[in-house]
Amino acid sequence: MPEVLILAAITIFVLFRLYIALGRDDGPPDGRTRPEPGSVPQPAAEPVQSPSPVLAPEPEEEPHFTGPAAGGLEEIYHADKSFSPRGFLQGARAAYELIVEAFANGNRGELRPMLDDDVYEAWDAAIARREADGSQPWRLLRIKRTDIESAELDGEIARVTVRYEAELGDGERVKTAREIWTFMRNVTSGDPNWLLDDVEIAS
């Protein structure tokens, strides 16, 4: 009997240690927050590392703007210093995945906060037609290309246009989709969310 009690005590102690180590829900294992619907999610900051005592890099004062959209991107940055072309492009890629998946699933509740009124109405009607005829949705297989095409600041409204090339499948067929999406946001707003304002088929 004493041996049984000792084994039971050891078992309880081991289980308690496992609970302490693994049982707590402290969020995602990499410490990043989960993206919420309705925005172009901003990427989590890279972990801060101790700088080298000899070659500590100087902090970059502002993003580097290049390409045909450079002028518009720079205007947006000067109106909203939290804006980063690199960060925006990463978020735009994540937004494409979220929106295409929600559209394929017919999830109107998830789509609504991410789309401007005109885009939502068009996609809501497309979902209704698909539900009526029972056709299979095209689902995202992979994103092959994501590039910022143009950018502008119209008063307080920033618009950034992104060219996507993606591979979609419906279970039997595979096709390449080339689309141009325009995202918009009021740079004076405390709301960091970007709305999908326009969608065009790219040539």
3-state helix, strand, coil in the chain (%, to 5): 35, 25, 40
How far is it, in rounded angstroms, from Cα 160 to Cα 19?
Answer: 47
Q: What is the mean pLDDT of residues 118-136?
A: 96
What rounded mean pLDDT belongs to the chain? 79
The pLDDT value recorded for residue 26 is: 43
Kindly state the tokens that stand for 29. Answer: 């294992």
The pLDDT value recorded for residue 37 is: 38
Helices (H), ranges, 29-154: 70-79, 85-105, 108-111, 117-133
Kindly state the tokens that stand for 105. Answer: 């699933």
The pLDDT value recorded for residue 18 is: 34
The H or E element that residue 8 is part of is helix 2-22
- Class of residue 130 by CB neighbours under 10 A (exposed 0-12, middle 13-18, buried 19+): middle
Residues in the chain: 203
> Is the separation of the CB atoms in 168 and 140 below 8 Å?
yes
Residue 3 has pLDDT above 70, yes or no: no
Q: Among all chains, which residue has been given the structure tokens 């390449």? A: 176
How far is it, in rounded angstroms, from Cα 63 to Cα 199?
Answer: 27
Kindly state the tokens that stand for 163. Answer: 């060219």
The pLDDT value recorded for residue 66 is: 87
Q: Angle, to 10 degrees, between the axis of helix 85-105 and the axis of helix 117-133?
A: 30
How far is it, in rounded angstroms, from Cα 62 to Cα 73?
Answer: 12
| Structural domains of the chain sorted by starting position, each given as residue range(s) with its CATH number in brackets | 70-201 (3.10.450.240)
Residue with the bigger pLDDT between 10 and 62: it is 62
Q: How does pLDDT run across 24-72, given as a tens digit for each residue?
A: 444 443 444 333 433 444 444 444 443 333 443 344 466 788 889 999 9
Confidence class for position 88, pLDDT limits 50, 70, 90:
very high
Q: How does pLDDT run across 141-155, given as a tens digit for each residue?
A: 999 999 999 999 999
